[in-house]
């Protein structure tokens, strides 16, 4: 039997009996409001904002609200097992830390704090190429915890190969390739603030610590930071690819490969035909295309089409334990959570991240049991009903 994550509820109540309350809210839907009070406008908008009018972000949440859980009774769900296996790795719960870059804009400990929190919970930390911390330093912070590496694909093959080799050498087991962000979406929240953290060298620790990238520069990054930043931005933006480019990844990565940003069932089929190991059904949290389909709306048909050929993961809009239950019931093997833990980082560093994720896991555990389920593996569409 896996860890009883729901015990966090009792822990909080017992601390309350002694006069202590949580460091900040346990409500995943209120974290954004709390983080706004402690962050400067630029960093807050960068994390919280989305593309255009925010229609895709709203659609992501509305899609969850359209599904309702149907609890079952007398199912002996006192003891529950949240553990699952994803890409050959046994996890205590079907939850991963999504790749989020430039975490230094919300807390000085940045990805190190988040990686330590993930390791303490036994959950995979998916490190972003846009991290404020080097590959090697994130690996050190992770210790023996599971860690995956997310790639923003540079258009310089040798630089890309060097970054992947470093990640593999540092113990990152799975490669997650983001497909939907080869150019930034139109983000008025950032544009109105004139705020792009990369221009101030935030989120550049990976290239600036890479020997092949640095060999492309006329001067080291510490001597001419602006030129190094512009060179890096030119490598990771403005270049879309097609399916014929995927073999390059296999040539430079000997572990599982996951494609992130799949929204169309035909793209999911192409991914399966290409032999990748998994996909993430995702619209980048609504940050790229305004008015795009909610990821949860696309999940059932994608899972039905390819779920027997590769691992189907999900992100975009997960805030609560019931959200996780719904995504799993609709075909996801696991979910990735991004903004909530970054808000926790802003509010309380490593302990803030841990509080957010323990709250989510406790909510998941209790919701699962109270809905009549003893584990996550048996969840299916019959656990839900579609509302109006």
* pLDDT tens-digit readout, 58-114: 999 999 999 999 999 999 999 999 999 999 999 999 999 999 999 999 999 999 999
238 is in an annotated binding site: no
Tell me the pLDDT band of 369, cut-offs 50, 70 and 90.
Answer: very high
282 is in an annotated binding site: yes
166 is in an annotated binding site: no
In tens, the pLDDT along 231-251 reads 999 999 988 999 999 999 999
Average pLDDT over residues 218-243: 96
Tell me the pLDDT band of 3, cut-offs 50, 70 and 90.
Answer: confident
85 is in an annotated binding site: no
Which residues, including other chains, have CB under 8 Å from residue 80's CB and lie 6 or more apart? 1, 2, 4, 6, 365, 368, 369, 373, 374, 375
pLDDT at 378 (0 to 100) = 86
Average pLDDT over residues 343-357: 99
Tell me the pLDDT band of 345, cut-offs 50, 70 and 90.
Answer: very high
pLDDT at 228 (0 to 100) = 98
Tell me the pLDDT band of 1, cut-offs 50, 70 and 90.
Answer: very low
Is residue 197 scored above 60 in pLDDT?
A: yes
In tens, the pLDDT along 8-39 reads 999 999 999 999 999 999 999 999 999 999 99
What average pLDDT is seen over the chain? 98
Q: Which of 107, 284, 355, 373 is flagged as catalytic?
A: 284
What are the tokens at 123? 């959950």
pLDDT at 302 (0 to 100) = 99
101 is in an annotated binding site: yes
Respond yes or no: is residue 264 known to be catalytic. no
The answer to whether 125 touches 147, Cβ cutoff 8 Å, is yes
Q: What is the CA radius of gyration of the chain?
A: 20
319 is in an annotated binding site: yes
If one counts every other C-beta atom within 10 angstroms of the C-beta of residue 323, the result is 27
Cα–Cα distance for residue pair 85/71, rounded to 1 Å: 25
What are the boundaries of each domain within the chain?
A: 7-386
Is residue 376 scored above 70 in pLDDT?
A: yes
CA distances to 12, 170, 304, 353 from 119, rounded to whole Å, are 22, 15, 32, 11
Portion of the chain with pLDDT greater than 70, in percent = 99
100 is in an annotated binding site: yes
pLDDT at 387 (0 to 100) = 85
Average pLDDT over residues 247-264: 98
pLDDT at 266 (0 to 100) = 99
7-386: CATH class? alpha beta
**Dihedral angle, C-alpha 235, 239, 240, 245, nearest 10 °:** -60
Predicted structure pTM score: 0.98
pLDDT at 2 (0 to 100) = 56
Tell me the pLDDT band of 225, cut-offs 50, 70 and 90.
Answer: very high
If one counts every other C-beta atom within 10 angstroms of the C-beta of residue 321, the result is 22
């Amino acid at each position: 039997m896996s860890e009883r994550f729901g015990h966090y509820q009792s822990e909080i109540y017992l601390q309350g009996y002694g006069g202590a309350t949580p460091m900040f809210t346990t409500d995943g839907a209120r974290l954004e409001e709390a983080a706004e009070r402690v962050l400067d406008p630029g960093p807050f908008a960068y994390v919280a904002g989305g593309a255009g009018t925010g229609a895709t972000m709203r659609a992501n949440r509305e899609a969850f609200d359209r599904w309702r859980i149907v609890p079952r009774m007398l199912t002996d769900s006192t003891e529950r097992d949240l553990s699952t296996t994803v890409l050959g790795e046994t996890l205590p719960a079907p939850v991963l830390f999504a790749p989020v870059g430039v975490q230094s804009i919300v807390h000085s400990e940045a990805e190190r704090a988040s990686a330590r929190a993930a390791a303490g919970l036994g959950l995979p930390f998916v490190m972003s190429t846009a991290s404020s911390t080097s590959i090697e330093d994130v690996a050190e912070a992770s210790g023996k915890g599971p860690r995956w590496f997310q790639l923003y694909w540079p258009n310089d093959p040798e630089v890309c190969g060097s970054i992947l080799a470093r990640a593999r050498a540092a113990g990152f087991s799975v490669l997650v390739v983001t497909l939907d962000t080869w150019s930034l979406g139109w983000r008025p929240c950032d544009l109105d603030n004139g705020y792009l953290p990369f221009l101030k060298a935030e989120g550049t620790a990976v290239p600036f610590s890479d020997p092949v990238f640095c060999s492309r520069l006329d001067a080291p990054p510490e001597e001419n930071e602006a030129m190094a930043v512009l060179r890096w931005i030119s490598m990771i933006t403005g270049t879309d690819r097609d399916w014929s480019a995927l073999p390059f990844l296999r040539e430079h990565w000997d572990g599982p490969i996951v494609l992130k940003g799949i929204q169309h069932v035909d793209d999911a089929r192409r991914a399966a035909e290409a032999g990748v190991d998994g996909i993430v059904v995702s619209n980048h949290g609504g940050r790229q295309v305004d008015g795009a389909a909610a990821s949860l709306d696309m999940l059932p048909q994608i899972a039905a089409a390819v779920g027997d050929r590769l691992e189907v993961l999900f992100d975009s809009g997960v805030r609560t334990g019931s959200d996780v239950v719904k995504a799993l019931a609709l075909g996801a093997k696991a979910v990735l959570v991004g903004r909530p833990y970054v808000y926790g980082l802003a509010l309380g560093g490593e302990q803030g991240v841990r509080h957010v994720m323990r709250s989510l896991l406790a909510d998941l555990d209790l919701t699962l049991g109270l809905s009549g389920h003893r584990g996550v593996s048996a969840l299916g569409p019959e656990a839900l009903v579609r509302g109006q």
